[in-house]
Structure 1
Amino acid sequence: MNGAIIGYGAIATGHALGYRQTDGIDVTAVVDPTPARAEAARSAGLRAYATYEEMIDREAPDFIDICTPPNSMPTTSRSGCETVCTCCARSRC
Protein backbone atom coordinates (compact mmCIF):
# COMPACT_ATOMS: atom_id res chain seq x y z
CA MET A 1 0.00 0.00 0.00
CA ASN A 2 1.18 3.49 -0.85
CA GLY A 3 0.33 6.30 1.52
CA ALA A 4 0.61 10.01 2.11
CA ILE A 5 0.87 11.96 5.35
CA ILE A 6 -0.98 15.25 5.78
CA GLY A 7 0.96 17.51 8.13
CA TYR A 8 4.62 16.75 8.85
CA GLY A 9 5.23 17.76 12.46
CA ALA A 10 6.52 15.68 15.37
CA ILE A 11 3.68 13.14 15.33
CA ALA A 12 3.94 12.60 11.58
CA THR A 13 7.68 11.97 11.68
CA GLY A 14 7.04 9.19 14.19
CA HIS A 15 4.31 7.76 11.99
CA ALA A 16 6.66 7.86 8.97
CA LEU A 17 9.27 5.91 10.91
CA GLY A 18 6.69 3.30 11.89
CA TYR A 19 5.51 2.95 8.31
CA ARG A 20 9.10 2.42 7.13
CA GLN A 21 9.40 -0.47 9.55
CA THR A 22 6.18 -2.11 8.32
CA ASP A 23 6.34 -4.52 5.40
CA GLY A 24 3.92 -3.73 2.61
CA ILE A 25 3.45 -0.05 3.50
CA ASP A 26 5.28 2.68 1.63
CA VAL A 27 4.64 6.33 2.46
CA THR A 28 5.97 8.42 -0.40
CA ALA A 29 4.32 11.84 -0.07
CA VAL A 30 3.67 14.54 2.50
CA VAL A 31 1.44 17.61 2.46
CA ASP A 32 2.60 20.52 4.60
CA PRO A 33 2.54 24.20 3.66
CA THR A 34 5.33 25.07 6.10
CA PRO A 35 8.60 25.32 4.11
CA ALA A 36 10.78 23.92 6.91
CA ARG A 37 8.55 20.90 7.37
CA ALA A 38 8.35 20.31 3.62
CA GLU A 39 12.15 20.41 3.48
CA ALA A 40 12.34 17.94 6.39
CA ALA A 41 10.06 15.59 4.45
CA ARG A 42 12.23 15.90 1.34
CA SER A 43 15.32 15.22 3.45
CA ALA A 44 13.62 12.02 4.62
CA GLY A 45 13.16 10.95 0.99
CA LEU A 46 9.51 11.92 0.67
CA ARG A 47 7.88 14.06 -2.00
CA ALA A 48 6.47 17.21 -0.40
CA TYR A 49 3.49 19.25 -1.52
CA ALA A 50 2.05 22.50 -0.18
CA THR A 51 -1.60 21.51 -0.67
CA TYR A 52 -3.69 18.37 -0.62
CA GLU A 53 -5.00 19.15 -4.11
CA GLU A 54 -1.46 19.39 -5.50
CA MET A 55 -0.53 16.05 -3.94
CA ILE A 56 -3.65 14.20 -5.09
CA ASP A 57 -3.15 15.48 -8.66
CA ARG A 58 0.31 13.86 -8.78
CA GLU A 59 0.06 10.87 -6.44
CA ALA A 60 -2.30 7.92 -6.11
CA PRO A 61 -2.19 7.00 -2.42
CA ASP A 62 -4.09 4.01 -1.12
CA PHE A 63 -4.41 5.74 2.26
CA ILE A 64 -3.74 9.06 3.92
CA ASP A 65 -2.64 9.61 7.51
CA ILE A 66 -3.93 12.96 8.78
CA CYS A 67 -1.51 14.40 11.32
CA THR A 68 -2.80 17.96 11.54
CA PRO A 69 -4.18 19.93 14.50
CA PRO A 70 -7.72 18.93 15.52
CA ASN A 71 -9.28 22.16 14.24
CA SER A 72 -8.26 21.34 10.65
CA MET A 73 -9.19 17.66 10.68
CA PRO A 74 -12.83 17.92 9.53
CA THR A 75 -11.89 19.67 6.29
CA THR A 76 -8.83 17.52 5.67
CA SER A 77 -10.70 14.31 6.48
CA ARG A 78 -13.55 15.23 4.14
CA SER A 79 -11.11 15.89 1.28
CA GLY A 80 -9.32 12.62 1.93
CA CYS A 81 -12.48 10.56 2.12
CA GLU A 82 -13.73 12.01 -1.15
CA THR A 83 -10.57 10.99 -3.03
CA VAL A 84 -8.96 8.09 -1.14
CA CYS A 85 -10.60 5.00 0.28
CA THR A 86 -8.76 4.83 3.61
CA CYS A 87 -8.09 7.75 5.95
CA CYS A 88 -6.81 7.74 9.48
CA ALA A 89 -6.87 10.78 11.73
CA ARG A 90 -5.67 11.19 15.25
CA SER A 91 -6.56 13.87 17.72
CA ARG A 92 -5.65 14.70 21.29
CA CYS A 93 -9.25 15.13 22.46
Structure 2
Amino acid sequence: MRDLGLKTTRNVADQTAYYAVRMPKYRKRVLSDAAADRLRGLLREMAHANGVEILALEVQPDHVHRVFSPPPAIAPSLTIQWFKERSARSLF
Protein backbone atom coordinates (compact mmCIF):
# COMPACT_ATOMS: atom_id res chain seq x y z
CA MET A 1 0.00 0.00 0.00
CA ARG A 2 1.26 3.49 -0.84
CA ASP A 3 2.20 5.83 1.98
CA LEU A 4 -0.61 8.40 2.02
CA GLY A 5 0.48 10.09 5.24
CA LEU A 6 -1.96 8.01 7.29
CA LYS A 7 -1.39 7.64 11.01
CA THR A 8 -2.33 4.20 12.21
CA THR A 9 -2.96 2.36 15.44
CA ARG A 10 -4.00 -1.25 15.84
CA ASN A 11 -7.49 -0.67 14.45
CA VAL A 12 -7.55 2.89 13.09
CA ALA A 13 -6.12 4.65 10.04
CA ASP A 14 -6.40 8.40 10.31
CA GLN A 15 -5.50 11.51 8.34
CA THR A 16 -6.85 14.68 9.94
CA ALA A 17 -5.72 18.24 10.46
CA TYR A 18 -7.17 20.82 12.82
CA TYR A 19 -6.94 24.60 12.78
CA ALA A 20 -6.85 26.60 16.01
CA VAL A 21 -6.36 30.27 16.82
CA ARG A 22 -5.39 31.44 20.30
CA MET A 23 -5.63 35.06 21.43
CA PRO A 24 -4.51 36.68 24.69
CA LYS A 25 -7.10 38.33 26.90
CA TYR A 26 -8.39 41.56 25.34
CA ARG A 27 -6.17 40.73 22.35
CA LYS A 28 -3.23 42.55 23.90
CA ARG A 29 0.01 42.54 21.91
CA VAL A 30 2.10 40.49 24.34
CA LEU A 31 4.06 38.38 21.87
CA SER A 32 7.14 40.44 21.02
CA ASP A 33 9.76 39.02 18.66
CA ALA A 34 11.68 37.29 21.46
CA ALA A 35 8.51 35.88 23.04
CA ALA A 36 7.24 34.74 19.63
CA ASP A 37 10.48 32.86 18.91
CA ARG A 38 10.36 31.23 22.34
CA LEU A 39 6.70 30.29 21.84
CA ARG A 40 7.44 28.67 18.45
CA GLY A 41 10.14 26.55 20.08
CA LEU A 42 7.91 25.58 23.01
CA LEU A 43 5.01 24.57 20.78
CA ARG A 44 7.26 22.46 18.55
CA GLU A 45 8.84 20.75 21.59
CA MET A 46 5.43 19.98 23.11
CA ALA A 47 4.13 18.67 19.81
CA HIS A 48 7.14 16.39 19.35
CA ALA A 49 6.88 15.08 22.93
CA ASN A 50 3.19 14.20 22.48
CA GLY A 51 3.35 12.81 18.94
CA VAL A 52 1.48 15.76 17.42
CA GLU A 53 2.54 16.98 13.99
CA ILE A 54 2.48 20.76 13.47
CA LEU A 55 1.68 21.41 9.82
CA ALA A 56 1.66 25.22 10.03
CA LEU A 57 2.43 27.71 12.79
CA GLU A 58 2.16 31.49 12.59
CA VAL A 59 2.76 33.73 15.60
CA GLN A 60 1.50 37.33 15.48
CA PRO A 61 1.86 39.92 18.29
CA ASP A 62 -1.77 39.41 19.36
CA HIS A 63 -2.66 35.84 18.28
CA VAL A 64 -1.29 32.44 17.22
CA HIS A 65 -2.49 30.30 14.29
CA ARG A 66 -1.85 26.53 14.36
CA VAL A 67 -2.64 23.72 11.96
CA PHE A 68 -1.86 20.42 13.63
CA SER A 69 -2.48 16.71 13.31
CA PRO A 70 -2.67 14.72 16.58
CA PRO A 71 -2.44 10.92 16.79
CA PRO A 72 -5.81 9.14 16.35
CA ALA A 73 -6.03 8.29 20.06
CA ILE A 74 -5.70 11.91 21.26
CA ALA A 75 -8.67 14.28 21.12
CA PRO A 76 -8.03 17.62 19.39
CA SER A 77 -9.48 19.47 22.40
CA LEU A 78 -6.92 17.80 24.67
CA THR A 79 -4.11 18.80 22.32
CA ILE A 80 -5.28 22.43 22.35
CA GLN A 81 -5.52 22.31 26.15
CA TRP A 82 -1.92 21.04 26.39
CA PHE A 83 -0.64 23.77 24.08
CA LYS A 84 -2.51 26.47 26.01
CA GLU A 85 -1.59 25.37 29.54
CA ARG A 86 2.04 24.48 29.05
CA SER A 87 2.97 27.40 26.84
CA ALA A 88 1.35 29.92 29.21
CA ARG A 89 3.18 28.47 32.21
CA SER A 90 6.51 28.46 30.41
CA LEU A 91 6.24 31.94 28.90
CA PHE A 92 4.73 33.87 31.77
Task: Give the TM-score normalised by the residue count of structure 1.
Answer: 0.26
Pick 1 or 2: higher relative contact order, CA cutoff 8 A, min separation 6: 2
Larger Rg: 2
